[in-house]
Structures are given as C-alpha cells and as structure tokens.
Structure 1
Amino acid sequence: ASWRTLVFGRWPVSGPPPHFEGLADYERRLEALVATGVIADRGQFYWQARLSDRYPTVEVRCPDVQIRADDAVMFAGIVRALVATAIAEEKAGARLSVTPPELLQLANWHAARHGLNGTLLDPLGRPHSSGDVLYALLDHITPALEEAGDLRAVSALVHRLLQNGTAADSQRHALAEGGLPGLIDLLTGAAPSD
C-alpha cells in the first residue's frame, strides 16, 4: 500500500473492496451504487482491487507506479499468482476466509504509513516483520508462481526489495543526498535506484 491509497480515501467508494458473494453480487451492488447518483459511473469505484470493465483482468491500485520495470513485473507476478491461487482454492472447495473490513482498513493504513520498515499485519491482524509477512505470502502463492514459471524471478525480486528497500525509500534517499536534481535523476533513470 502507498500513501496514495489513503488520499484516495477522499472518494465516496474507495479503500479495500468489500466481500462479494460472487460476480452477480458484485454487479448488483455496483449498479446500485451508481444508481444513487453520487458517482457518475463505474470508473469512480476507487477500491484497491476491482474487476476491469474493459479487459478480463483484475485491477489492483494500492501501490504507487513503480519506477523500476522489474518491480512492476514482481508486482504483476504476485497479483496474477494471488488470483490464480484464489481460483484454484475456490475450485477445490476451500472455504474462503474473509478478513474483517476494519482489519483490512487498519492493515492498509499501517502498510501505507510504514512501508516495509518495520512490521506488517498478517491476515489475522498479528504484527510480524515485513519480511516474514512477504515470505508467508510467497509460500501461499508458490504453486501458482511455479505454474506460471514466475517463482524464481518473483522470489528474487521480493528478496531484493526487502534488502534494498522500496521505491519510496530510494526517492527519499535521492532527495536527501542530491536534492530535487537527485530525485529527478532517479526518476528519469539517470541515477541508479539501488
């Protein structure tokens, strides 16, 4: 999560999405919200994850734009594996655990505020080191990562992220060391981001 997600909280429909019983429930509830007239159309649903109206994809909007292409690849691999894991679990008849919305909101705020510098909350709301939480996530989605051929690359990129910090860390460092010109160099590729 990024601080941007908290800024998006100003919109009428934002934050972690609610639990839906299925596609019909999702569609019915979206149409009901649009019918209120408070929002103009489905493009104004600023949930951190939603189905795309244009493509057969899930849009995930909680991180900032990645400044490194391989960070975007890592994130896309994780999202794809999460979706594939959820589909496989549903097909296997696994019982879906629903995290309470207040815990999702709390965990989201905590992650946006602190990033990977400290603890993250696990799905039960218990604080753990960010590395432990990310490695538990990787363990959970390993079968899907393996099936897609992404396990090695995504695991290496997550490890690098934990070792070297996030793009936000790099940007703060570049600004502190080189001022605005240093930050611009980082963002335009004129300076290394590690």
Structure 2
Amino acid sequence: MDTLTVGVEEEFFLIHPATGRTVPRAEHVRTAAGLRPAVASSEVQSELLQCQVEVNTPVCLGLDEVGGHLLRLRHSLAEAAEDVGCRLAASGSAPFTPLGTPAISTSPRYRSMRVDAAQLAAEQLICGMHVHVGVPDRATGVAVLNRLRPWLPVLVAIGANSPLWDGADTQFSSWRTVVFGRWPVSGTPPPFADADDYERRAGALVDHGIIRDRGQLYWQARLSERFPTVEVRATDVQLRPDEAVLLAGLIRALVATAMAGERAGAPAPVQPPEFAAGAVWHAARYGLTNRLHDPLTGHPAKAGDVVAGLLKYTLPALREAGDERQVTSLVHRLLRDGQGADRQRAALAAGGRDGLIRLITGITATA
C-alpha cells in the first residue's frame, strides 16, 4: 500500500512579551511573515480572533518533511511576531486573557459567528492542531471516521496542552476541549452508515439552520470539504514541533490501520455516543495522569498502558510508513517528560508568569 499523505495545521496565540496577555495583531504578523522568503502567504491564515494565526504545511509524505515545514513556519512566524512587538505562543488555551473583549477577525464568516454566539466567540481563546490524512474517496473517509471514534479520547489525552485559563489552573489537562465542546456540533462524530449518510446528515444540519456552513462541523474528526482527506481535530496545539510530528505519525497510522480493517471486512467498533462523550471528558480532565478508556479492551486502564496499546495496534502501519522508530522514541519521551499541560504547570510553579511565557513562546525548540 502507498504511504498516505499527511498535512498539519497549527494555531497560535499572539501575546504581549511581558504580560502574556493576548494582543490583536494577526494582520500585522501575517503581513510581516508574507515578506519573508521562507514562508508563502498562503501558508499563514487568519483565525476567528485577531490574537490568533494559523499555519498550514504543504502535503507531505514523510514525518521528517512534516517536521521541517513546521519548524520553518514556526521560526518565520515567531520572527514576524517579534518584528511587530509581540510573541508567538504555542498553548491550547490563553493562560492570561486580554483586557476587554477580544477583537474578531474581519471576514464576514467570523463576524456572523459573533452575531450567532457573541460570548462563545469572545471566549474562543483556544488553539488546536489539525492533521489531514489523504484518503482515496469519501466512502473510505467515512469508514475511517467510524473506526477512529474510540481512539479520539486517547489523542485528546496525548495532545493535552491547555491547563490554564484566565490566570488560573482549571485542573483540566485540555481545557480547550471543554471550551470547543460548547458549539452546536462538536465532540466525537456519530457513526455513519456510509458516505451518503454522512452527506445527508451534514447537509441537513446546514439546511435546518443548526450551523451556518460545513466549516462549523466541529467534530473531533471529519471529512475535509477542501481536500481529499480525513481531518483529525482532537488535539491542542503542541509546545514543540516534534510533538506535533508525533501526533501526525500516530494519526496517520490510525487512519492506515482503519483502512486495512475496512478492506479486511473487520467489524467497526461500536461505542454509544454518551460513552464517547464521557471518555473525551475524562481524557480532557486528566490527560495522561490518570486512567483512560482502552479501546482495545473496553475497560479503563493506566494511561501509559493505553498509549502502549495504541503503539501496538498501529505497529504494522507505522512500520510500513517507516515511522516506527521515530514515533516510538517520541512516545517514550512524552511518557517520561510529561505532556504540554504538565510542563505548563511546572513552568508556572517554578518561574511564575515569566517562566510560563518562556515555555510557551519557545516554539521552535525541538528538545
């Protein structure tokens, strides 16, 4: 089987270098970044709030390629932010909220979201990471979504990097997951009978006014409307680019494993919606510090054992893509050093506000 393509989108905050509060300078940063030869203007996008920017890698085949693009984009955008008096920060939630209501970006779509849900839009001070994995058609994509559902809480836990909100510890590892779950169509996607069922139900949500467009299908995994990909949106933005590479490798391996299971005619896992929602909540609350629901056994287990089970489950796909050694090494380091949420808390405890700012703005670090 050919290696599946992969691409990554990362969202970042723009913060004041001394206070850590978000600042509305996205257009200034985008302009400064677009003047740099190392980054194309199409690789840097606006987000809902003017204190956020997004970068998009090209379509990649290898994880080293993904990592190279992420490092290039982070470095260029961090320099652009410094040029206009702010810093780029890699945190799933804004640790220190801005003074006043955050400014919405100027696009008509984002302004309509403010009209629909003013307070939700104002509190959308969260940044995620989206991984696109190429699939041959939408029928395959829907089959993949059905098989990914039980693994989404595990991805939430691995990628948790948003423990702080409004200057306080939420006691959640991924507060972003909780905030994002307040939109009408969010969380774990439901199971679908086939591609026609997906199209019919997604279309009905728009036709009946539940959401304005398919861009507001805020499931943690969905079919992309722009690219021939499955888009996994379950994780917070990562502190380091190699941690983003780890998640890209695991997600691609999960997609490849799901496709292999579909070809072999293996039954898709069955997970009731209420159970899926509860598993996501617990993953967001505890990250890797407690127990997780194990998709392989159907029972709670130590988080480290569940992550080890994920590696074993995806091992054939990791080997086929040539990712086994790199992904395994990064998983072992994650379990040893802790995830982003753990390190944010440690930085705040050891160095206060300044220590936390140094951590979340050291976004080009690889070790």
Question: Which residue pairs with 2:305 in the alignment?
Answer: 132
CA distance in 2, matches of 1:55, 1:190: 27
Query: SS state of the match for residue 189, structure 2?
Result: coil
CA distance in 2, matches of 1:92, 1:44: 33
CA deviation vs aligned residue, 1:134-191 (integer Å, no higher than 9, x gap): 0111111101111111111111111111111001111111111111111111112189
Query: SS state of the match for residue 181, structure 2?
Result: helix
Query: SS state of the match for residue 18, structure 1?
Result: coil
CA deviation vs aligned residue, 1:74-98 (integer Å, no higher than 9, x gap): 0001110111111111011111112
CA deviation vs aligned residue, 1:91-129 (integer Å, no higher than 9, x gap): 111111122211111111001000100211112541111
Query: SS state of the match for residue 110, structure 1?
Result: helix
Per-residue deviation at 1:38? 2.4
Per-residue deviation at 1:3? 2.2
Name the one with the larger strand percent. 2
Is residue 333 of structure 2 the alignment partner of residue 160 of structure 1?
Answer: yes
Distance verdict in 2 for CA 1:40–1:65, change over 3 Å: same
Question: Which residue pairs with 1:31 in the alignment?
Answer: 203
TM-score, normalised to structure 1, is: 0.95
Query: SS state of the match for residue 292, structure 2?
Result: strand
Question: Which residue pairs with 2:191 in the alignment?
Answer: 19
Which structure is larger by alpha-carbon Rg, 1 or 2?
Answer: 2
TM-score, normalised to structure 2, is: 0.51
Q: Is contact 2:294-2:301 (8 Å) kept?
A: yes
Is residue 279 of structure 2 the alignment partner of residue 117 of structure 1?
Answer: no
Deviates more, 1:12-21 or 1:92-101: 92-101
Distance verdict in 2 for CA 1:190–1:30, change over 3 Å: closer
Over the aligned positions, Cα root-mean-square deviation in angstroms equals 1.7
Q: Is contact 1:186-1:192 (8 Å) kept?
A: no
Name the one with the larger helix percent. 1
Question: Which residue pairs with 1:184 in the alignment?
Answer: 357
Distance verdict in 2 for CA 1:117–1:5, change over 3 Å: same
Q: Is contact 2:241-2:365 (8 Å) kept?
A: no
Q: Which runs of 5+ in 1 are unaligned?
A: none
Q: After the TM superposition, which residues 41-60 of structure 1 pair with which residues of structure 2 at under 5 Å, given as runs?
A: 41-60=213-232
1:151 counterpart letter in structure 2:
E
CA distance in 2, matches of 1:78, 1:21: 26
Question: Which residue pairs with 2:77 in the alignment?
Answer: none
Query: SS state of the match for residue 61, structure 1?
Result: strand
Question: Which residue pairs with 1:40 in the alignment?
Answer: 212
Q: Which runs of 5+ in 2 are unaligned?
A: 1-155, 157-173
What is the number of equivalent residue pairs in this alignment? Answer: 194
Is residue 238 of structure 2 the alignment partner of residue 66 of structure 1?
Answer: yes
Q: Is contact 1:107-1:125 (8 Å) kept?
A: no
CA distance in 2, matches of 1:89, 1:190: 37
Question: Which residue pairs with 1:103 in the alignment?
Answer: 275
Question: Which residue pairs with 2:55 in the alignment?
Answer: none
CA distance in 1, matches of 2:320, 2:338: 28
Among the aligned pairs, what percent are the same residue?
A: 61
Deviates more, 1:58-67 or 1:123-132: 123-132
Runs of 4+ in 1 over 3 A off after TM superposition: 190-194
Q: Is contact 2:241-2:363 (8 Å) kept?
A: no
2:266 counterpart letter in structure 1:
A
